[in-house]
């Protein structure tokens, strides 16, 4: 007896647009932003910045009294490899049949049904093509044709596509007639189903069914999975709300910094609101800085806050400010780019201690990279980011690196004297990485693909010419006695591990590689593990690799804003992977891809999240916030004596585009 798991004719959807992000923006790289509206259990995992202003990928239409889900895109592989898809169901489904009625409004591409989907870039597809049918396997950037046969089809009629899976075998039919059969080990894994096309196509009457025995087996597996997840979560201290802060009218998204402005052990937070100039986020400038303590008391404020916090906080880029004791007087200063000046502010009062004008933009615009409209908008540099480094070779970092977007770098000492500047022929990426590679006491700087010596001279460049590096980490991933390496995520160029001499050792093209972290996620394995996520194209898939760069698993939670930050929550030497603050599908994964910690369903904000040790017992707190409220969670057993003190990325080099690390041994850190 067949049991139907899905019978979808889209009649419950109103005529109009399937929910989507109308901005098609980069905010979802590190913000939790989900489309508004009822998706009816379906998810659209595909987005691209080239979609900006072009409307939704999917619309609900009607013809002859029937509703159809219609795919509207005609873009192909620009600039990322994309397979427009709507997906639904469970990754635990196995041994099922799926069918859909398909009408191709264009034959200039493919259209079909996805099955055995573990994620949107790890799936099988039965599809109609130009005068043929095929079964393909999509994984990351690769497409493998498993079977293909001639089959004449056109744009004027509907076709009933059907796939029946049992163990490793799939039987595919059109209008009730078998056209392809295939045996493939990956089919046995099972997974979700989807509808997919890369040219205008209508879908309706999507059905999934199983025999009763298979249905009962799937239901039992779902029950066991939930039971195991609850058992796992019981082994970790639950979250306890420690602070709840009203952000009034000075709130921001991930444009915040933590520091010790009062010169003691207490923490304070700087919020930056910004306005956009000329083109989207290319020239964001800080309009208001607000310093508050952890009870929400305002210490000082520069500029005018706005009730339009959702507009002034919505920046999909870095802003140029850091919190650091640059003059070594025991108090953190705020180093900020405002109004075409670099200012060093007294942390306790916000008064200006030192300042200078930003450099003049004197280079020929034709030699600058990443310019909107091929023209630099201002006479002076509008800084895109700031990093603290030890270029001068002092006992502690005391130099300031500023950059534009995306090719010029300027290095200043703590008195704002220019040490050197550099204009790159390759894109510098978002946030250069600086540390002393050769042991001479001076930091080298990896900007994008190119390593600079402490005097600004090029040492080498990785053999990549295109796109840019979003995030960089460095260290001894394989152990304290082993060599150190860089690990980078570079958009369409993928994830790679490279040595300190400019050689790429491992590379995986996972779509648009966006975020990266390294930590002791699997204490039972050699070395440390690297977590990587993607965004543009098929967004939101998390990948875990071992210390050598070998893939371990893939995870998709249908959500964006997965920051994949390492979290020392238990204090036992193992780390968790922070996704986002969604109470249902977010939370923290362990090194086996299981959800080990869930956020409470208490109405907390979900836009942003961060992990930082604020209470002093060495374990991390979880900070979640939006434009109006901030919640800080600690462990229910806090405070508790701790021996595990991992080396984290220094808070004085905060960035939305820094790879995160947590090294259990200081000798592994850069």
Separation CA 52–CA 37 (nearest Å): 19
Residue 204's alpha-carbon distances to 71, 119, 440, in angstroms, are 12, 22, 66
pLDDT at 450: 98
* Structural contact between residues 491 and 477, judged by C-beta atoms closer than 8 angstroms: no
Share of the chain above pLDDT 90, in %: 94
Residue 534 has pLDDT above 80, yes or no: yes
Per-residue pLDDT at 166 = 96
- How would residue 24 be classed by pLDDT, with cut points 50, 70 and 90? confident
Nearest to 335 by CA among 583, 653, 575: 653
Query: Total structural domains in the chain?
Result: 1
Under the banding of pLDDT at 50, 70 and 90, the label for residue 1 is confident
Distances (CA, A) of 248 to 118, 251, 259, 272, 308: 42, 7, 21, 13, 11
Q: What is the pLDDT of residue 550?
A: 98
User: Average per-residue pLDDT in the chain?
Assistant: 96
pLDDT digits (tens, 9 = 90+) for 285-343: 999 999 999 999 999 999 999 988 777 778 889 999 999 999 999 999 999 999 999 99
Establish if 327 belongs to a structural domain.
no
Predicted TM-score (pTM) above 0.95? yes
Domain-embedded: residue 356: no
Residue 485: which of 433, 554, 532, 525 has the closest Cα? 433
pLDDT tens, residue by residue, 36-94: 999 999 999 999 888 887 899 999 999 999 999 999 999 888 788 889 999 999 999 99
Cα distance between residue 533 and residue 500, in whole Å:
23
Looking at residue 307, its pLDDT comes to 84
Assign 29 a pLDDT band (cuts: 50, 70, 90): very high
Token pair belonging to 40: 């009816």
Asked if the structure places residue 132 within a domain, the reply is yes
Q: 137 is in which domain, residue-wise?
A: 2-18+56-233
Give the span between the Cα atoms of 479 and 613, in whole angstroms: 25
Element at 16 (helix H, strand E): strand 16-17
Split at pLDDT 50, 70, 90, the class of 185 is: very high
Residue 631 has a pLDDT of: 98
**Residue 631: inside a domain:** no
Residue 280 CB coordination number (10 Å): 17
CB 612 within 8 A of CB 258: yes
- The model's confidence at residue 463, banded by pLDDT at 50, 70 and 90, is very high
Decide if 423 is inside a domain.
no
Tell me if 389 is assigned to some domain: no
Residue 91 included in any domain: yes
Residue 302: predicted pLDDT: 98
> Cβ distance 43 to 88 under 8 Å?
yes
CA distance linking residue 420 with residue 406, whole number of Å: 17
Q: What is the pLDDT of residues 205-220, one digit of tens each?
A: 999 999 999 999 999 9
Task: Report d(CA 27, CA 536) in Å as an integer.
Answer: 11
Whether 432 maps to a domain, the answer reads no
d(CA 575, CA 508): 24
Q: Is the pLDDT of residue 169 over 80?
A: yes
- CATH of residue 61: 2.60.120.560
Percent of the residues in the chain that have a pLDDT greater than 70, as a whole number: 100
Q: What is the per-residue burial (b if ≥16 Cβ within 10 Å, else e) of 311-343?
A: ebbbbbbbbbbbbbbbeeeebbbbbbbbebebb
Q: Examine the pLDDT at 632 and tell me if it is beyond 90.
A: yes
The pLDDT assigned to 465 comes to: 93
Concatenating the DSSP letter of every residue in 228-252 gives HHHHHHTTSPPEEEEEEEE-TT---
Q: What are the C-alpha distances in Å from 620 to residues 570, 635, 645, 670? A: 9, 9, 10, 21
Q: Which of 300, 396, 292, 411 is nearest to 346 (CA)?
A: 300
**Which residues are bridge partners to 572 per DSSP?**
none
Mean pLDDT of 274-280: 91
């Amino acid at each position: 007896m067949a049991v139907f798991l899905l019978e979808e004719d889209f009649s419950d959807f109103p005529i109009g647009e399937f929910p989507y992000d109308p901005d098609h923006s980069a905010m979802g790289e590190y913000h939790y932003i989900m489309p508004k509206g009822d998706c009816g259990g379906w998810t659209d995992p595909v987005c691209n910045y080239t979609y900006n202003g072009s409307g939704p990928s999917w619309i609900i239409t009607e013809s002859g009294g029937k509703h159809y889900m219609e795919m509207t895109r005609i873009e192909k592989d620009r600039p990322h490899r994309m397979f427009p898809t709507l997906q639904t169901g469970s990754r635990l489904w196995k041994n099922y049949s799926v069918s859909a009625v398909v009408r191709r409004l264009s034959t200039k591409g493919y259209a079909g049904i996805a099955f055995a989907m573990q994620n949107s870039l790890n799936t099988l597809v039965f599809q109609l093509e130009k005068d043929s049918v095929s079964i393909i396997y999509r994984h990351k950037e690769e497409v493998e044709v498993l079977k293909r046969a001639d089959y004449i089809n056109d744009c004027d009629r509907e076709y009933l596509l059907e796939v029946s899976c049992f163990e490793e075998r799939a039987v595919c039919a059109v209008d009730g007639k078998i056209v392809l059969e295939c045996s493939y080990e990956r089919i046995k894994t099972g997974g979700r189903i989807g509808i997919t096309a890369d040219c205008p196509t209508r879908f309706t009457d999507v059905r999934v069914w199983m025999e009763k025995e298979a249905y009962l087996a799937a239901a039992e597996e779902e029950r066991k999975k939930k039971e195991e997840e609850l058992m796992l979560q019981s082994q970790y201290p639950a979250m306890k709300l420690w602070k709840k802060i009203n952000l009034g009218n000075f709130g921001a998204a991930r444009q915040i910094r933590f520091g010790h402005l009062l010169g003691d052990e207490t923490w304070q937070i700087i919020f930056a609101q910004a306005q956009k100039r000329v083109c989207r986020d290319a020239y964001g400038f800080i309009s208001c800085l607000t310093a508050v303590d952890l009870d929400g008391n305002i210490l000082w404020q520069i500029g005018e806050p706005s009730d339009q916090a959702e507009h002034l906080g919505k920046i999909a880029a870095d802003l140029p400010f850091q919190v650091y004791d640059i003059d070594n007087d025991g108090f953190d200063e705020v180093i900020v780019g405002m109004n075409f000046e670099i200012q060093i502010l007294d942390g306790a009062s916000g008064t200006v201690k030192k300042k200078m004008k930003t450099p003049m933009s004197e280079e020929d615009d034709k030699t600058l990279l990443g310019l909107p409209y091929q023209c630099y908008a201002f006479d002076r540099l509008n800084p895109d980011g700031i990093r603290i480094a030890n270029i001068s070779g002092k006992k502690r970092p005391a130099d300031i690196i500023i950059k534009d977007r995306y090719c010029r770098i300027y290095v200043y000492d703590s008195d704002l004297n220019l040490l050197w500047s550099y204009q790159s022929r390759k894109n510098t990426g978002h946030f250069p990485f600086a540390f002393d590679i050769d042991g001479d006491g001076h930091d080298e700087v990896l900007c994008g693909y190119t390593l600079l010596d402490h005097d600004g001279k090029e040492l080498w460049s990785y053999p990549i010419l295109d796109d840019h590096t979003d995030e960089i980490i460095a260290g001894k991933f394989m152990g304290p006695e082993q060599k150190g390496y860089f690990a980078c995520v570079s958009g369409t160029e993928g994830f790679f591990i490279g040595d300190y001499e400019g050689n790429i050792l491992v590379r995986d093209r996972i779509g648009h590689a966006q975020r990266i972290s390294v930590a002791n996620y699997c204490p039972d394995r050699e070395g440390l593990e690297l977590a990587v996520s993607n965004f543009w194209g098929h967004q939101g898939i998390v990948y875990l690799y071992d210390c050598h760069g070998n893939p371990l698993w893939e995870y998709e939670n249908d959500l964006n804003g997965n920051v994949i930050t390492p979290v020392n929550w238990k204090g036992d030497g193992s780390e968790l992977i922070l996704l986002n603050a969604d109470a249902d599908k977010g939370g923290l994964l362990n090194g086996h891809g299981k959800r080990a910690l869930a956020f409470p369903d208490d109405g907390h904000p979900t836009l942003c999240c961060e992990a930082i040790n604020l209470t002093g017992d060495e374990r991390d707190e979880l900070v979640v916030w939006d434009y109006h409220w901030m919640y800080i969670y600690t462990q229910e057993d806090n405070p508790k004596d701790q021996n595990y003190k991992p080396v984290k990325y220094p808070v004085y080099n905060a960035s939305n585009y820094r790879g995160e690390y947590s090294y259990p041994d200081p000798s592994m850190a850069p």
